[in-house]
């Protein structure tokens, strides 16, 4: 592992300090914005009832593709038909892993545990991306990551921890499903990262979402669940929460998430993405949930860790 105080932002193409700093801060802002959008989406998705996780996942991916197509038209963007076969393969594999497999696993786990327990499982995301980015992408790691990472992880563990007698026993299968989804997402990030450096952000997002939607649809069709997986493509009471969740958690969050990876480093963006857990805590309190004092303490520690990372 090598330590680098200044890390070149992905796709920057220049090294002057006046140019590099704004791009890095753009990546930071997009990563934190993604965390906020995803936190709102998690709260919405938790309210969706009577719909299988795969059906909700297919709906949110397809809905977002439908929004991205006019977005590209307005921006004058088209598909990069000159992209190499390897790059196409990376985006497609990343989309299937991150948007078909990982999201379905996470949504299945979210059905079985509450937000604070899912947050504990989500702590596996940043360390996994950090490890994989160093091993497979050769990214330099700023000293702030070594200080901030333990603070963020410690804070999030405190936020998600609970006494056994306080609530019903935690569903271990739900935790495992959430962790499997989070870690599969981390793998998808690393697969896509090299391609993002030489791709248009919106176009790369469209390719990944399309691959994820097609992957889910084909799998469910082969499994004989074609009718069930299309339940949200007709009028359904779950649209009240599925629609805002899809917009925030897939369309908006996906653009911000990939932007954080493109304009920053995978390890740095991954850690900032973890602030979604703190946002979930705050939004839950605003919604009337009673939050134990220790969770506020954990949130404070996690935010301190995020600030260390941003300032490094």
Quick check: is 144 in a domain?
A: no
Quick check: is 304 in a domain?
A: no
Mean pLDDT for all residues in the chain: 82
Quick check: is 294 in a domain?
A: no
pLDDT tens-digit map of 158-187: 766 656 555 556 677 888 899 899 999 989
Most confident of 141-155, 239-253, 294-308: 239-253
pLDDT tens-digit map of 45-58: 988 989 999 999 99
Per-residue model confidence (pLDDT) at position 33: 93
* Mean pLDDT across 15-19: 36
Report whether pLDDT(73) > 90: yes
Per-residue model confidence (pLDDT) at position 221: 93
Total tally of structural domains belonging to the chain: 1
Per-residue model confidence (pLDDT) at position 19: 38
Quick check: is 279 in a domain?
A: no
Report whether pLDDT(250) > 50: yes
Domain encompassing residue 250 = 17-138+166-264
Quick check: is 218 in a domain?
A: yes
Quick check: is 34 in a domain?
A: yes
Report whether pLDDT(5) > 60: no
57: which 2 tokens? 């996942």
pLDDT tens-digit map of 58-70: 999 999 999 999 9
Quick check: is 229 in a domain?
A: yes
**Rounded percentage of the chain residues whose pLDDT exceeds 90:** 41
Quick check: is 32 in a domain?
A: yes
| Higher pLDDT pick, 59 / 24 | 59
């Amino acid at each position: 592992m090598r330590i680098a105080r200044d890390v070149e932002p992905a796709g920057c193409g220049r090294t002057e300090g006046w140019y590099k700093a704004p791009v890095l801060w753009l990546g930071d802002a997009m990563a934190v914005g993604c965390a906020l959008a995803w936190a709102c989406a998690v709260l919405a998705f938790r309210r969706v009832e009577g719909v299988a996780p795969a059906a909700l996942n297919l709906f949110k991916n397809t809905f977002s593709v439908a929004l991205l197509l006019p977005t590209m038209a307005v921006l004058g963007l088209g598909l990069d038909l000159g992209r190499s076969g390897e790059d196409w393969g990376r985006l497609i594999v990343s989309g299937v892993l991150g948007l078909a497999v990982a999201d379905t696993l996470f949504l299945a786990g979210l059905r079985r545990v509450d937000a604070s327990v899912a947050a504990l499982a989500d702590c596996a995301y940043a360390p996994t991306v950090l490890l994989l980015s160093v091993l497979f992408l050769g990214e330099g790691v700023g000293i702030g990551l070594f200080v901030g990472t333990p603070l963020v992880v410690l804070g999030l563990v405190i936020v998600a921890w609970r006494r056994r007698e306080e609530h019903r026993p935690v569903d271990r299968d739900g935790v495992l499903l959430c962790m499997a989804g989070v870690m599969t997402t981390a793998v998808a990030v690393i697969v896509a990262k090299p391609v993002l450096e030489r791709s248009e952000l919106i176009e790369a997002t469209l390719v990944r979402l399309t691959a994820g939607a097609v992957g889910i649809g084909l799998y469910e069709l082969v499994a004989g669940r074609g009718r069930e997986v299309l339940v949200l493509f007709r009028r359904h009471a779950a649209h009240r929460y599925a629609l805002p969740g899809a917009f925030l958690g897939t369309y908006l969050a996906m653009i911000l998430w990939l932007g954080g990876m493109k304009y920053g480093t995978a390890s740095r963006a991954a850690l900032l993405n973890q602030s979604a857990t703190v946002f979930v805590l705050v939004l839950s309190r605003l919604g009337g949930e009673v939050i134990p004092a220790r969770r506020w303490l954990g949130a404070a520690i996690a935010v301190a860790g995020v600030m260390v990372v941003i300032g490094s």
